[in-house]
Chains A and B, each alone.
Chain A
Amino acid sequence: MTAWEDARTPRSAKVTPSSPGPRLQKIWETGPGLKGWISSVDHKEIGKRYIVTAFVFLLLGGIESLVMRLQLSGPNRTLLSPEAYNQLFTMHGVSMIFLYASPVLSGFSNFLWPLLLGSRDMAFPRLNALSYWVYLAAGLFLYAGFVVGRGPDAGWFNYVPYAAREFNPGVNIDVYALGLILLGISTTVGAANFVVTFLRLRAPGMSIDRVPILTWGTLTASVANLLAVPSVSLAFFLLWLDRQFGFHVFDAADGQPLLWQHLFWMFGHPWVYAIVLPAMGMVSDGLPTFCRRPLVGYTPVALSTVATMALGFGVWVHHMFSTGLPDISLSFFSGASLIITIPSAVAVFAWTATIWLGRPVITTAFLFFASMIVLFVIGGVSGVMTGSAPVDWQLTDTYFVVAHLHYVLIGINVFPVVGGAYYWFPKFTGRMLSERLGRWNFWTMFLGFNLGFFPMHLLGLMGMPRRIYTYSAGMGWDTTNLVVTLGAFLFAAGVGLFLINVAVSLKRGRIAPENPWDAPTLEWATASPPPPYNFAVIPTVASRHPLWEHRLNESAGRSCLDEGLLLDHGRETLGTTPLDGEPSLILEMPGDTPAPAILALGLAVLFAGAPLKAWWLAGLGGVICAGALVLWFWPRRVHADEPEAAHG
């Protein structure tokens, strides 16, 4: 028999302890040692790496903010020079927005998607690995500049002419520019992977009205990223050409500095949704488990998720057609929040109704999810306030905006993420996080956060501007600033408790069963942690809540989890049709390979050469990239060596 197969009728089987698990284990297992670690394309491995790395950047960004808060804890402090303060607030913003908030959600989605969808991996496992490695490289790249005192210092939105060479001659801005282009590559390939996975890799029977909301959130974010990321990459590339090669695009004399803001915010509007929608999806999926009932209003919530993005692009168009400057100089976050209120209100009502109509079981994860609703509402109200023009003139560029954006970002990103960590930790690691420590963790974070950030609203109303490195005594800001700093440290201590809980529970946490929370979705139908192949047979899905069917009676049929397609001729999974989830092809998945890591290394070398103008180094990077690509794309003779074993 030849190694090439055109079509095959897949066999079905019933799962027993001896079959097909051990066989699949051999096929899907990652090799041992460092080489195996570098070569792994397992979405669960990649997801965990994403989450851990993102948390490292959260901590770095957190430390930066604490140093800023120490400087601002009282008037006329001299801990930081103005230049150091500029670099700190810029790196804080960059770390939080680009290196934490978005990647951490990619991490959750990478780990969870194939499990939620009943598949064995993502559509492009190697691209998935690439997206992680490039993200890591970009993070290290951005921080390399900061460590040697050359961090970006023009704020995370990096307006020209501040960022033009004339006013900012150092290499700082170049590092930022190139680092973000590198990160853009990671975001883009990751996004494409999510889109295709959503369309083709769902379990049979999982029509698009049966997918978990998290996948709607990430899908929406990914589509937005595909369309929007090129804008910011281009902006930074043009800026680099202007700065280093004497181009004139953003030049006031002959080009147009305002173009920067257009390109940046065309990207920025969709991006802010990209860092909240998947987190909202996590709440939409996690909260119902603890309310012991399905989410109220699945369809409106799914639709509002997509509508949010559509509106986001609407705002962007509106900016393009209007005169530009006056609109654009409105604080970005308030503008975004104004628009987001309508679909957001749908989500808020759905969550509240779910709690109201359910029988809530109070766990740490529940507390995080439920408190997110409160923070979301506060952030939303302050958003509407800054969104109205007269108020905005008073408040723009004051601490009111700082308060608002932290309510939005910490409220809608950090709280759901930590809640999600409590919820899915058993799936990630096979152990439960401690609930007792969890309560301490939650209350410290919640109280610390409100103590640290609510008074910022007052500071803003009293006129304290943002991005100032110090202030003089007698402005009436002293006490409030001290309280804010204390709150920030309390919040940080809460995050510390979370990390302690993780460290302790990894070793000593209660061993988790398959479905510790009695949750309804597919990821809970496999072991904790799942085996490398996720599902011994491909599950067949008949409703939105496959594991709750015996109580809900939502649908006529029953999902089938212990009998299904075997697909064991090598690494295989099922491809289904985009809308209805009908089986339509057998996918041969690639094996582990170091090519993605090598490609990322090549890109990193290439990008390291560029700001130094060390063209030989950049060339070397290019050669490494080319080699990695050949290795990557060399046609595989798929399971040519094991046609017999496949039938054994």
Chain B
Amino acid sequence: MAEVTYTGGPLPVAAKGRNSVGWLGVLCLIATEACLFAYLLFSYFYIAIQRGPGWSPEPNPSLAMAGPNTLILLASSVAAWWGEGGAKGGQRTRQLLGLSLAILLGAIFLIVQVFEWKAKTFRPTDGSYGSLYFTITGFHMAHVVVGLAMLIAVTGWSWLGLFQPRRHEPVSNVVVYWHFVDAVWLAVFATFYLAPHLMW
């Protein structure tokens, strides 16, 4: 009876990219967080439908700040993606440049968001619309902060030379999380800024 022992070739050690367990771990994190935002938006639509027109204190939310800010966040994703390419190809300068740019753009997004909050005429305690608006955008901002912290950590570590060229797994994991944070923003943006123009 043939005993099955290993006859294959070399195996990657602590593999990178899609073959790593860390990657799957990040996907699990993204799945559960995506559900969190789905429940948040469900709560919004549930109450919106029950309350009907007139519920929202700003039926036509202004896109003046939120629109460009959305583009800034998307650009940040692109920068992160470009930097990740640098990590994969072992181009250190490109990696550092891309990630730093992503951080910068993400930070700008945050600052603009704070002004956006200040410009609102309603507060979270004024009614359930305000409660949900600030809770949901607040949740998203918290995710931006976390994403930025992670980007700063991997950029710092890359800068210190702690990641060898082929060991870019943490970079990829953080970058995919960053893309997720941006994708969530699109959903939040569509809900609060675009849908009202269609709904009422």
Task: Assess whether A167 is interfacial by the CB under 8 Å rule.
Answer: no
Q: Please name all residues of chain B whose beta carbon is closer than 8 Å to the beta carbon of A241 when the two chains form the complex.
A: 124, 131, 135
Task: Using A585-B12, A585-B14, A588-B13 as known contacts, say yes or no to A10 and B6 having CB atoms under 8 A apart.
Answer: yes
Task: Assess whether B93 is interfacial by the CB under 8 Å rule.
Answer: no
Task: Assess whether B104 is interfacial by the CB under 8 Å rule.
Answer: no
Query: Is B11 a contact of A585 with CB atoms below 8 Å?
Result: yes
Task: Using A230-B32, A248-B131 as known contacts, say yes or no to A263 and B12 having CB atoms under 8 A apart.
Answer: no
Q: Please name all residues of chain B whose beta carbon is closer than 8 Å to the beta carbon of A255 when the two chains form the complex.
A: 47, 128, 131
- Alpha-carbon gap, A74 to B4, bound state (A): 68
The residue that B6 contacts in the complex, of A6, A229, A249, A583, with Cβ under 8 A, is: A583
- Alpha-carbon gap, A123 to B21, bound state (A): 7
Task: Using A8-B11, A226-B31, A540-B5 as known contacts, say yes or no to A247 and B124 having CB atoms under 8 A apart.
Answer: yes
Nearest chain B residue, comparing its CB with the CB of A227: B35
The residue that A263 contacts in the complex, of B11, B21, B43, with Cβ under 8 A, is: B43
Query: Is B39 a contact of A195 with CB atoms below 8 Å?
Result: no
- Alpha-carbon gap, A484 to B104, bound state (A): 67
Q: Please name all residues of chain B whose beta carbon is closer than 8 Å to the beta carbon of A251 when the two chains form the complex.
A: 128
Query: Is B4 a contact of A205 with CB atoms below 8 Å?
Result: yes
CB contacts under 8 Å to B, within A207-238, are 226-231, 233-234, 238
Query: Is A10 a contact of B166 with CB atoms below 8 Å?
Result: no
Nearest chain B residue, comparing its CB with the CB of A585: B15
Query: Is B131 a contact of A7 with CB atoms below 8 Å?
Result: no
Query: Is A123 a contact of B127 with CB atoms below 8 Å?
Result: no
The residue that B32 contacts in the complex, of A4, A8, A188, A575, with Cβ under 8 A, is: A188
Task: Using A249-B47, A254-B128 as known contacts, say yes or no to A584 and B19 having CB atoms under 8 A apart.
Answer: yes
Q: Please name all residues of chain A whose beta carbon is closer than 8 Å to the beta carbon of B167 when the two chains form the complex.
A: 4
Q: Please name all residues of chain B whose beta carbon is closer than 8 Å to the beta carbon of A254 when the two chains form the complex.
A: 51, 127-128
- Alpha-carbon gap, A638 to B157, bound state (A): 15
Task: Using A226-B31, A263-B39, A635-B170 as known contacts, say yes or no to A583 and B25 having CB atoms under 8 A apart.
Answer: no
The residue that B14 contacts in the complex, of A226, A229, A586, with Cβ under 8 A, is: A586
- Alpha-carbon gap, A559 to B126, bound state (A): 67
Task: Assess whether A196 is interfacial by the CB under 8 Å rule.
Answer: yes
Task: Assess whether B163 is interfacial by the CB under 8 Å rule.
Answer: yes
Task: Using A124-B21, A227-B32, A247-B131 as known contacts, say yes or no to A638 and B39 having CB atoms under 8 A apart.
Answer: no
Query: Is B10 a contact of A8 with CB atoms below 8 Å?
Result: yes
CB contacts under 8 Å to A, within B43-77, are 43, 46-47, 50-51
CB contacts under 8 Å to B, within A557-587, are 557-560, 563-565, 575, 583-587
The residue that A231 contacts in the complex, of B5, B6, B21, B35, with Cβ under 8 A, is: B35
Query: Is A199 a contact of B24 with CB atoms below 8 Å?
Result: yes
Task: Assess whether A5 is interfacial by the CB under 8 Å rule.
Answer: yes
Interface string of A240-282 (1 = CB under 8 A from B): 0110011111010011100100110010000000000000000
Q: Please name all residues of chain B whose beta carbon is closer than 8 Å to the beta carbon of A585 when the two chains form the complex.
A: 11-15, 19-20
Q: Please name all residues of chain B whose beta carbon is closer than 8 Å to the beta carbon of A242 when the two chains form the complex.
A: 131
Q: Please name all residues of chain B whose beta carbon is closer than 8 Å to the beta carbon of A587 when the two chains form the complex.
A: 14, 21
- Alpha-carbon gap, A540 to B46, bound state (A): 52
Task: Assess whether A204 is interfacial by the CB under 8 Å rule.
Answer: yes
CB distance from B160 to the nearest CB of A (A): 9
Task: Assess whether A388 is interfacial by the CB under 8 Å rule.
Answer: no
CB contacts under 8 Å to B, within A375-432, are none
Task: Assess whether B121 is interfacial by the CB under 8 Å rule.
Answer: no
Q: Please name all residues of chain B whose beta carbon is closer than 8 Å to the beta carbon of A583 when the two chains form the complex.
A: 6, 8, 11
Query: Is B20 a contact of A564 with CB atoms below 8 Å?
Result: no
The residue that B4 contacts in the complex, of A195, A540, A584, with Cβ under 8 A, is: A540
Q: Please name all residues of chain A whose beta carbon is closer than 8 Å to the beta carbon of B119 when the two chains form the complex.
A: none
Q: How many A-B residue pairs have CB under 8 A?
A: 170
Main secondary structure of the interface of A (DSSP, over half): mixed
The residue that B47 contacts in the complex, of A196, A231, A259, A584, with Cβ under 8 A, is: A259
Query: Is B4 a contact of A586 with CB atoms below 8 Å?
Result: no
- Alpha-carbon gap, A256 to B42, bound state (A): 13
Task: Using A234-B36, A245-B125, A247-B131 as known contacts, say yes or no to A586 and B11 having CB atoms under 8 A apart.
Answer: yes
Q: Please name all residues of chain A whose beta carbon is closer than 8 Å to the beta carbon of B2 when the two chains form the complex.
A: 557
CB contacts under 8 Å to A, within B113-161, are 124-128, 130-132, 135, 153, 157
Query: Is A196 a contact of B125 with CB atoms below 8 Å?
Result: no
Interface string of A173-210 (1 = CB under 8 A from B): 00000000000000010011101100111001100000
Q: Please name all residues of chain B whose beta carbon is closer than 8 Å to the beta carbon of A233 when the two chains form the complex.
A: 36
- Alpha-carbon gap, A558 to B24, bound state (A): 31
The residue that B135 contacts in the complex, of A247, A256, A559, A565, with Cβ under 8 A, is: A247
Nearest chain A residue, comparing its CB with the CB of B160: A635
Task: Using A9-B11, A255-B47, A588-B13 as known contacts, say yes or no to A227 and B131 having CB atoms under 8 A apart.
Answer: no
CB contacts under 8 Å to B, within A594-634, are 630, 633
CB distance from B6 to the nearest CB of A (A): 6
Q: Please name all residues of chain A whose beta carbon is closer than 8 Å to the beta carbon of B12 when the two chains form the complex.
A: 6-7, 584-586
Task: Assess whether A542 is interfacial by the CB under 8 Å rule.
Answer: yes
Task: Assess whether B195 is interfacial by the CB under 8 Å rule.
Answer: no
Task: Using A234-B36, A248-B127, A251-B128 as known contacts, say yes or no to A256 and B19 having CB atoms under 8 A apart.
Answer: no
A-B pairs, top 5 by smallest CB distance, nearest first, are A192-B28, A230-B36, A255-B128, A247-B131, A246-B125
Partner-B contacts on A (CB < 8 A): 4-10, 12, 123-124, 127, 188, 191-193, 195-196, 199-201, 204-205, 226-231, 233-234, 238, 241-242, 245-249, 251, 254-256, 259, 262-263, 266, 540, 542, 557-560, 563-565, 575, 583-588, 630, 633, 635, 638
Jot down 8 A-B pairs with beta carbons below 8 A, ordered by A.
A191-B32, A200-B24, A229-B32, A231-B39, A248-B130, A259-B46, A263-B39, A584-B11
